[in-house]
Amino acid sequence: MLTLTREDVRLGCRATDWRAALDQAATALVEAGRVSAEYREGLLAREAQSSTYLGHGIAIPHGTLESRRHVRATGVRVLQFPEGISWHDGSRVNLLVAIAAQSDEHLDILRQLTHVLERTGVAETLAGAKSADEVIAALSRELVTAKFDAETLVMELPARDRLELALAAAGRLRNIGCVDSSFVASIAGQQPVPLGQGLWLAYGATGVKTPALGLATPKQRFQDDAGDVAAVFCLAAQGDAHRSLLERLDALIARGDGAELATLPVEQILSRLSGESAQARTARVRLLNAQGLHARPARELVQVARAQTVPVLLRVLEGQGEVVPATSLIRVLGLGARYGQTLVFSAEGEGAEQAVSALADAVRGGLGEPVTPLEEKRQAPAVHAPATAPAAPGPVIAPGADETLTAVPAAPGLAIAPAYVLRLPEFRYPERSSDAARERERLEGALAGARQQLQVVVQRTTGGEVAQILSIHVEMLEDPALRDAAFKAIGEGLSAEAGWWRAIETAARAQEALPDRLLAERAADLRDVGRRVLGLLCGVELPIPPEQPYILVAEDLGPSDVARLDTAKVRGLVTARGGATAHSAILARSLGIAAVVGAGERVLALSSGVELIVDGESGRVVASPSPARRQRTEQRIEEQKALQQAAHGRRHEEARTQDGHRIEVGANIGNTAHAADAVERGAEGIGLLRTEFVFMAHPRMPDLATQIAEYSRAFDALAGRPMVARTLDVGGDKPLEYWPIPAEENPFLGLRGIRLTLTRPEVLETQLRALLTAAGSRPVRIMFPMVKDIDEFRAGKAIFDRVQAEVKATDVQLGVMIEVPSCALLAPALAKEAQFFSIGTNDLTQYTLAIDRDHPQLSVQSDALHPAVLHLIRLTVEAAHAEGRWVGVCGELGSDPLAIPVLVGLGVDELSVTSRRVPLVKARIRELTLPRARELAALALRQPTAAAVRDALEAA
């Protein structure tokens, strides 16, 4: 909705011509603090491209794409010219709605205004208004769009009753937040009415939040006492916003398309209800105009449509199904189509094919604006920083006031603080030198200085992960290949700075080219080391953070960046790039502060000092939050502090639901030294010991004695509590330098986990012997990772049985880690032989959804609350319990507050989470009852998407 205040409206303006009117509009935006003075040129440039006259006496001047950098905050200013202005296209304008938009927010304003223009007499009302309130009332008509899309459909239910189908459709509308329970109750009290062709309708207006149309179809068409039943619609009515849905439904039946509706796939159902008949010719095309379908390209599109011999209809595939004539500029603008959305053209009759093709071709051509095909964008080469300094950022636009950006959750927590944007320093130096000996000496000195700096930082760094990563930096400085490459460049006439940076960039780019993603990400470490040395050579101080608390914003975060910071003042981390394995995420988790990664380039355009909200659980960043949002967030932070304090006080108590059902809560650790900390935080045992970190911490394969010593340290700290140890899980994203694996096109689907260790059974045997020996009479649970079927488990078990017969540990179980969908589906067979299951939801999710959980673009969609993953968990638990086995969850899902009730309701017996989360997970379990948890689990299983699961659980 277009929100206006009296301060936004200026009445009784006068201007000699349209340029003078634009000057007044620009001045109004500057005085309101929305733009800088340079924005005026953007307004003029936009009119030079095409007129912004909208119709009915209204013009909507706004800047060009290039002028967005002059926008400080999104907003509008309304100027009334009662006597009218002659616009440059010959139109008569009485009202300017001047728009300052940082991205494509103006499309929402434009869409609302096009609906305002549909009212009779609005031009006269606006021209003659005597008060700002009259103008606001005329413009601020709330735009309500009825919802009908794939989310509102419930297909192929095993139902034999019309009312059951109506209630299913009503329930779906409730689950997605369109209606509340009172609406469902009103549907339960009526019988659907016949529409003909096997279609029925139930409707109500009680408890409607958003008008919507639900549809439920039975698995098989059936007859009841009232007639043939193919599908039941459920209409949530509100005002007249649902009228277009009824009109589309009426047109569908009039065309005779209702009879086959229930047999069609979802996409075709939506197509039929949008107004496209079975005989229609259609064409789809992606909209690549940077500012979406605004006035200029819309006018071009309308002109092409008017030139066709048949009427052409247009809809947005990702929209609400609204269809408009492609010949109506107002209706086309009203769609609010944005960059990247899909336009669907349809037409019938002779010439339909040519008509829709002509419009699709016009869109591909840019509609009068330069556009870049998606294929070219996808294949564009990556831009690397030059040897002299990091590349300057492109013309990206900072987030607007109270705008929410979606990123990848990296570390849980919630924080509010000013941003500190970490920008890399500029290094200025000569490219060449004639004194090679002196340049080598200078580089040697800088390398020694950098090494000394890092060693000092390592000694004073308490975080284990940070110290380990910085130690790797020391090794990089001592790498002879890097040093030789730099000296060779100096011998060719380069300066010490240029020669060193050439060596760094060459090595970093080679690292980035590696097929293994984790190794490729280490290129950031090389550049981090390189900048440290470059700073010493150039005498440039690296950035110094502010004294007050702040949220660190960076392109990516190097370990030495964190090591230089006073982490007591860092409230949160935001990075433009990176996934869950990036060092920014690792360090944030080790420091226990809120963090999101992969937030995109726009965060780098923020100014230091701008207030930010960071939500590390939902993966959201909000810049310059509104007072209301800030107040809500502060309240949530206080509530979380109180919850954390209460949870900490009860951390050593068992986790039992209110009705006495116990769930064990353990800790995930990678370093055996962290077992004591886990116990102190309330862990009832170690639910996952990532033993690969024991192997990765040594320069060569650890022998039996070394492993026994490592595992014994953990058993000693546990003092009789159980430990679940995963056998060596390397390969994929965790290579071992001393165990080289041939390059694989997709290492995540190659040699890793149990399939790798079975290629060298002596390695697995030594590890099993070490675990069993270290355990002795203490409880140990050993599990094999990446098992796909019973044969792999039996192969590992044969080695285990042989070792156990010799060692004779007294309290041991052998289980399977459920990470591969085939393993979950075959759980009934595995449960007959494995003694327990532990579900690794991180890998199970990525393999089920075919999404790399660390993919910079897709990782946000890799949600373990996806119903497909939940169904696999349910199958696993049911199979295990049928054989008297227990089931744990050791993936990130176990610490998700929204997911914990679902996991308890699905019957999971144990949750293993990071040590810091143990008290909070226990506290969440204590809030539940088992019947309520089962109810929420059933609700989640009924949803079609992960987003729907989260929405349903939040609303429940």
Cα 196 from chain centre? 44
- Measuring CA to CA, which residue among 507, 554, 531, 527 is closest to residue 426? 531
Q: Which of 512-526, 587-601, 710-724 has the lowest mean pLDDT?
A: 512-526
Q: What is the pLDDT of residue 384?
A: 29
Q: What's residue 383's pLDDT?
A: 27
Of the candidates 62, 70, 242, 473, the residue annotated as catalytic is: 62
Length of the chain in residues, anyone?
Answer: 956
Alpha-carbon torsion angle 168, 174, 176, 178, nearest 10 = 120
- 593: tokens are 């502060």
Closest by CA to 602, choosing from 424, 421, 425, 426, is 421
Q: Which residue has the higher pLDDT, 706 or 268?
A: 706
Asked about 648 being catalytic, the answer comes back as no
Contact of 933 with 904, CB cutoff 8 Å: yes
Catalytic residue among 583, 674, 823, 866: 583
Judge whether 538 counts as a catalytic residue: no
pLDDT the model gives residue 469? 60
Residue 307 pLDDT > 70: yes
pLDDT at residue number 381? 28
Mean pLDDT of 612-623: 88
DSSP state of 736: B
The pLDDT of residue 543 is above 80 = no
Active site includes 62?
Answer: yes
pLDDT at 573 over 80: yes
The Cα–Cα gap between 327 and 307 comes to: 9
The torsion of the CA quartet 807, 809, 812, 813, rounded to 10 degrees, works out to 20
What would the mean pLDDT of 675-683 be, rounded to a whole number?
93
pLDDT of residue 932: 95
* The pLDDT of residue 388: 34
Q: Three-state DSSP class for 129?
A: coil
pLDDT tens across 434-461, in order? Answer: 899 999 999 999 999 888 887 776 665 5
The half-sphere exposure of 445 on its side-chain side, counting CA atoms within 13 A, is 13
Strand partners, 147: 212
What does the alpha-carbon distance between residue 592 and residue 583 come to, in Å, rounded to a whole number?
14
Banded pLDDT at 374 (limits 50, 70, 90): very low
Tens digit of pLDDT for each residue in 800-843?
999 999 999 999 999 999 999 999 999 999 999 999 999 999 88
pLDDT band at residue 395 under the 50/70/90 scheme: low
Residues contacting residue 492 through CB under 8 Å, at least 6 positions apart: 499
Give the residue from 568, 517, 569 showing the smallest Cα distance to 548. 569
Rounded CA-CA distance 557/584 in Å is 5
Q: Catalytic pick from 13, 178, 234, 890?
A: 890
Chain-wide mean pLDDT for the chain? 82
HSE-up of residue 608 (Cα within 13 Å, Cβ side): 14
Tell me which DSSP letter residue 190 carries. Answer: S
Residue 71's SS3 state is strand
Q: What are 219's strand-pairing partners?
A: none
Residue 860 clears pLDDT 70, i.e. is over it: no
Q: Given 294, 473, 674, 866, which residue is catalytic?
A: 294
Question: Please, is 390 exposed, middle or buried when counting C-beta atoms within 10 Å of its C-beta (0-12, 13-18, 19+)?
Answer: middle
Cα 137 from chain centroid (whole Å): 38
Residues near 479 by Cβ (< 8 Å), separated by ≥ 6?
Answer: none
